[in-house]
Amino acid sequence: MRKQVKRFTWLFPAIFMALMLIGVSGSLAFAEVEQRINTQKAVTAEHREKARKVDEQMQQKISNTERQAAADSLKALRQQIHDYATQKYNGVDPNLEAKKQHGNKNKKNPDSKASYRTLGLEGFEFLAPPTGPRTYGPNTVPDYNTTANWAFTPPIAKFVDTLPQLCVSTDGYANENNLHQCLPVAVADTTTYPGSDYYEIWLEEWNQPMHSDMPATRVRGYVQKQSGTPTSTTANDTASDAAPRNYLAPIIVAERDRPVRVKFVNKLPVGQAGDLFIPVDQSVMGAGQGPLNADGTPCDNTLEGNTCAFYPQNRATVHLHGGRTPWISDGTPHQWITPAAETTPYPKGVSVANVPDMEDPGDGSMTFYYSNQQTARLMFYHDHAFGITRLNVLVGEAAGYVITDKYEQDLITRQILPDIGIPLIIQDRTFVDATPFPTPATATA
């Protein structure tokens, strides 16, 4: 009973407020219609201001000279701070002092704390700016602590190359950086499988420059082969090779709830040329010997001195990272395939399955079905082969995958978002000389 009374008393202000709101919204509606007529667009002043800012930002282009100037001033600033620190501690370089103290940890020195002081952060060693020329290469003592000289990456200048950006077939993939690179957006074939976007993606190996001061680097990556709707109706058509190939491409742009179908063809070199060109730890499960002899008879790879055949290093698959994908198309560790021409007792992983309503792609190929039942997001697709996933991804078997939806498209239409966005990928890479050198390389070798 008490509860009912309470609810009843609540109703009065609620009804009153509702009546008030109807009145207010009535007059608001008039003002809004007026505004729509004035601006011819259903956007508020706030939206227009946002759109103006986005436009302004897109107009701002920074030249390489400006980037270099910024890098130079940053370097000068680091030098200034370092000089200041050196002076502050009576001419004693705080870094060298810190090192001495670390080296003398065993000796009990009551003054050690006093002489090891840092620039405000406890335990933080301030490093001097690198001073060239550096020595690096075989027989050089590795220095990880002051001026890093290891792993053979030559000293390279920052900000000299512009980032490769997305490029599209409609303007002939013209949007190149100074290294003539861009990331092509894959062109969907919409007729071969009605209701789906179909792509034919090959896996290939090539050389590509990563910096204007370095020779080209060997990569393995994905390439779209059949671009756009083919004239032929067969799903195995490989007519066009129009799109440039590029590290971390092609980018697939999918629409929410519209499936993507992929025919993936492993076109890597075979035999010895099919081996990875970076070191492979064959003691990792799946990277060394498998359960079969070269003639296909079973063997026990856990025994000493066994004769089991090694898994080929040109195995590969496609996994859509973060995708809501049925298991047959998930590119799991056991869904890899080798190139059709490879001679091996292991031509494919034990869980390989093709999409049931797609044409059988044959040896060295596999079909995938992605549901795209997800909201707008940036994902990526990459290799997932048993034992060598990390290595395959490191050499380049990865590319962007964007899902867009009606909410995102609405924001783009109203110019609140400039477009589907600028995919930004940050990687920390080490480059080694292609010429083999004796390992371990030591000062006395």
Q: How many residues bind Cu ion (CB under 5 A)?
A: 1
Closer by beta carbon to Cu ion, 48 or else 321 = 321
Give the separation between CA 349 and CA 354, rounded to whole angstroms. 12
Residues 358/235, Cβ–Cβ less than 8 Å: yes
CB of 45: closest distance to Cu ion in angstroms? 43
Give the separation between CA 147 and CA 139, rounded to whole angstroms. 16
Chain centroid to CA 442: how far? Answer: 34
Residues 370/325, Cβ–Cβ less than 8 Å: yes
Q: How far, CA to CA in Å, does 264 sit from each of 96, 153, 191, 325?
A: 55, 34, 18, 16
CB of 437: closest distance to Cu ion in angstroms? 33
Tokens standing for 418? 């400039």
Closer by beta carbon to Cu ion, 134 or else 321 = 321
CB of 26: closest distance to Cu ion in angstroms? 54
Closer by beta carbon to Cu ion, 235 or else 251 = 251
Closer by beta carbon to Cu ion, 117 or else 321 = 321
3-state secondary structure of 70: helix
Based on the shown chain and the rule CB under 5 A, indicate whether residue 377 belongs to the binding site for Cu ion: no
Helices of type H across 286-424: 389-394, 406-413
Tokens standing for 361? 């792609």
Tell which positions 284-323 bind Cu ion, by CB under 5 A. Answer: 321
Q: How long is the chain?
A: 445
Closer by beta carbon to Cu ion, 258 or else 321 = 321
Closer by beta carbon to Cu ion, 94 or else 221 = 221
Tell which positions 320-349 bind Cu ion, by CB under 5 A. Answer: 321
Closer by beta carbon to Cu ion, 50 or else 321 = 321
Q: How far, CA to CA in Å, does 280 sit from each of 217, 286, 297, 382, 390?
A: 18, 11, 25, 18, 10
The owner of tokens 């680097």 is 217
CB of 401: closest distance to Cu ion in angstroms? 11
- Angle, CA of 21, 24 and 26, to the nearest 5°: 105
Closer by beta carbon to Cu ion, 94 or else 396 = 396
- Angle, CA of 225, 227 and 228, to the nearest 5°: 150
CB of 92: closest distance to Cu ion in angstroms? 49
Tokens standing for 286? 């799946």
Residues 354/368, Cβ–Cβ less than 8 Å: no
Q: Find the residue with minimal CB distance to Cu ion.
A: 321
CB of 381: closest distance to Cu ion in angstroms? 8
Closer by beta carbon to Cu ion, 345 or else 396 = 396
Terminal-to-terminal C-alpha distance of the chain: 94
Closer by beta carbon to Cu ion, 321 or else 377 = 321
Element (H, E) at 18: helix 2-39
CB of 393: closest distance to Cu ion in angstroms? 8
3-state secondary structure of 254: strand
CB of 310: closest distance to Cu ion in angstroms? 25
CB of 283: closest distance to Cu ion in angstroms? 23
* Strand pairing class (183-184; 166-167): parallel
CB of 163: closest distance to Cu ion in angstroms? 23
- Residues forming a β-bridge with 116: none
- By CB under 5 A, name the binding residues for Cu ion: 321
